[in-house]
Chain A
Amino acid sequence: MLKPYHLAAGALLSVLVSHPLAAAEEKLLNVFNWSDYIASDTLDRFTAETGIKVNYDVYDSNEMVEAKLMAGKSGYDVVFPSAFPFFARQIQARIYQPLDKQKLTNYGNLEEGVINSLNATDEKILDFAVPYMIAGTGVGFNRGKVNALAPGAPTNSWDLIFDPKWSDPLKSCGISVLDDSGEVFAAALVWLGKNPRSEDPEDFKAASAAIQRIRPNLRYIHSSSYINDLANGDLCVAHGYGGDLVQARDRAGEAKNGVDISVYLPVEGAQVVIDVMGIPADAPHPDNAHIFIDFMMRADVVGPITDAVGYANAIRGTDAFVSEQRRNDPVIYPSPETRAKFFTVPPKPQAYIRQLTREWTRIKTDH
């Protein structure tokens, strides 16, 4: 009895609400993005050009976006998850709507290299997503302290973290890794010379052993604390996201506190994170969302964002809007050799994820 009534009421409501909107959406857009991921004037420019007011919320983890979207009716029109494994898996859960490429007039601005690397991992992803920013996961270190405690350390390699020869003497001044089991296991696998995508039980054991060996050397395992701690000199070596490490380096430079931070993407290979824009299936303003995504594919919009946040974008012709210092930064715009070693990790089966999380808890808490 309850259900037909609900259906009728729902139908009535949707007629009342959606019909007038089908003609013209209200001038509103709800965006959910990573913190510190646009320039200070990006949204104002969008509103000035289109008359669409933007409600802007931020998050600091892919898990947060995923949980909100999976609960349904998040109310967001545009979200920015990482392509792999998050967005690719979320497509399987059918929580995004396919993009209407007709409405994306700037689609041709996308860089071919980025399109190819997305397609190579998951060919369905471009039906639902437009790439936004790209960053490798790397290592940031305090030059002065590392030279003092571990002279001659290979500051271009994962050795700095995973090789006890260098990691042990650096323990006293602080090493951190990301609280992201996928990132750390992938890093351990490439350090061991194995395929970072491997799900082989033997490789898993070897990676776990490598991490457990250096576990006592880790001051903490955290995904954002290292930015400040590295900049303040509280931490010596940090495994972190490229853009975040660049921010730590910038902050240390601005503070003039004698802390000299260097950042590198390891020669063995670095995981590359491609964050994408997508429209949830139940987005209240899908038309405005398309307008926004189209806006975010313009070189004069995205260029200044790269300049502000220190992440490379996926749009051609943005060089004119990015300062020379940023453009010559090998962390933001890596050399072709480094790019060749970039890797992505596609979604894993649920059983593997559970095993990985369990092992990660064991490594972290000794339980």
Chain B
Amino acid sequence: MNRNARFTRNGAGRRLVVGVPYLWMVVFFLLPFLILLRISFSESRIGLPPYTEVFEWLGGLSFRVLGSFSNYQFLFTDDLYLSAYANSVKIAAISTALCLLIGYPMALGISRVRGQARTLLLMLVILPFWTSFLIRVYAWIGLLKSEGLINGLLLWAGIIDSPLALLYSPFAVYLGITYSYLPFMILPLYASLERMDGSLLEAAADLGARPMAVFLNVTLPLSWPGVIAGSMLVFIPAIGEFVVPELLGGTSTLMIGKVLWSEFFLNRDWPLASAVAIIMLIILVLPLVWWQRHQQQSEGDK
């Protein structure tokens, strides 16, 4: 038995189980990240590849560094990049809050229904994924445009006299992002709410707590991990979102995804585009690291 325990603790099986996710991270995150990092230190040129070398091998183990931080310096000389980052964070944060406000009641509702009805409701949340993301965003163009369904309905009902400029506005961007990422908020929330021990709620009610107090003191704190997970799943992809602002946002919406696109496709400056992407990654990783620290500390306190 002793030997068995040692086998499971140090053996090949355990290493494999731990190793697979690490290998995944190395191949699909770390390697692309390092390639991007290298390009971000080079300079653009007309040629193939369209950037200069960062290292010059002098034979053996010696090499010379040719790269520079000039791309990163450039990002701070022009306020375009900082405002684009700030605007992306703002749009992502507001969309996340909207997803939470809409998604929480839905998840709570689904978790309180039993049997067939719950399966049906869950299916309805997941069903939109059967259609391509791009097509669903395109469908909003048809709904929002000035001769579209929504304006047509409002005009017909006599609520408005002339079509509202719904499409190509910040409103359309918030709507598109909230709509697209709502399931990513609902599903983790549902998972954490569904596991909740119903007797805790009954106990709270027995002790005289009103429904609102039960929700604020029992349900909400217990679902906190779901709230955090859902918010991360919405916030992180929303920051780098390109499709929604491109299709629904029109021209005045400044987001880092579009700035990245124009650096890459219009200026053909891969090195600067890489630097923009690296900074974006840092902006995304820092709160995650902070949150994990915070999580570990609070678990340690308990």
Contacts and interface: CB of A to CB of B under 8 A. Distances in A.
Interface string B87-122: 000000000000000000000000000000000000
Nearest to A177: B251
A362 B252 CA distance: 9
Contact of B266 (A92, A95, A357, A367): A357
A148 to B, nearest CB: 15
Contact of A232 (B147, B168, B251, B268): B147
Nearest to A281: B48
B297 to A, nearest CB: 39
A182 to B, nearest CB: 9
A178 to B, nearest CB: 12
Interface string A174-213: 0000010100000000000000000000000000000000
B47 A93 contact: yes
A366 B44 CA distance: 27
- SS of B interface (majority): loop
Interface string A228-256: 01001110000000000000000000000
Given A353-B266, A354-B267, A357-B266, A364 B46 contact: no
Q: Is the interface on chain A under 10, 10 to 19, 20 to 34, or 35 or more residues?
A: 35 or more
B149 to A, nearest CB: 14
28 contacts: A61-B265, A63-B266, A72-B48, A92-B46, A93-B46, A93-B50, A220-B250, A220-B251, A229-B145, A232-B147, A350-B46, A350-B268, A353-B267, A353-B268, A357-B262, A357-B266, A357-B267, A358-B80, A361-B80, A361-B254, A361-B262, A362-B80, A364-B251, A365-B252, A365-B254, A367-B79, A367-B84, A367-B254
B251 A179 contact: yes
A340 interface: no
Contacts of A234: 145-147
Interface in A325-367: 350, 353-354, 357-358, 361-362, 364-367
Q: Is the interface on chain B under 10, 10 to 19, 20 to 34, or 35 or more residues?
A: 20 to 34
A316 interface: no
Given A70-B50, A94-B47, A233-B147, 10 more contacts: A66-B265, A66-B268, A67-B265, A94-B48, A220-B250, A353-B266, A353-B267, A361-B254, A361-B262, A364-B252
B268 A70 contact: yes
Interface of A: 61, 63-64, 66-67, 70-72, 89, 92-95, 179, 181, 218-222, 229, 232-234, 350, 353-354, 357-358, 361-362, 364-367
B70 to A, nearest CB: 13
Given A357-B267, A358-B80, A72 B47 contact: no
A220 B146 CA distance: 13
Contacts of A361: 80, 254, 259, 262
B262 A219 contact: no
Interface string B43-60: 010111110000000000
Most buried by A among B48, B145, B252, B254: B48
A63 B265 contact: yes
Given A93-B50, A94-B48, A358-B78, A365 B268 contact: no
Contacts of B49: 70-72
Contacts of B79: 367
Nearest to B162: A172
A255 B46 CA distance: 46
Contacts of A219: 168
Given A354-B267, A357-B267, A361-B262, A222 B251 contact: yes
Nearest to B148: A234
A19 to B, nearest CB: 25
Contacts of B80: 358, 361-362, 367
B264 interface: yes
A220 B267 contact: no
B251 A67 contact: no
Contacts of B147: 232-234
Contact of B46 (A89, A222, A229): A89
A94 to B, nearest CB: 6
A237 to B, nearest CB: 15
A338 to B, nearest CB: 29
Contacts of B252: 364-366
Interface string B113-154: 000000000000000000000000000000001110000000
B201 to A, nearest CB: 49
Contacts of A70: 48-50, 268
Contact of A365 (B50, B253, B264): B253
A362 B48 CA distance: 30
Contacts of B46: 89, 92-93, 350
Contacts of B251: 179, 218, 220-222, 364-365
B168 A95 contact: no
B83 interface: yes
Nearest to A350: B44
B23 to A, nearest CB: 20
B180 to A, nearest CB: 20
A367 B83 contact: yes
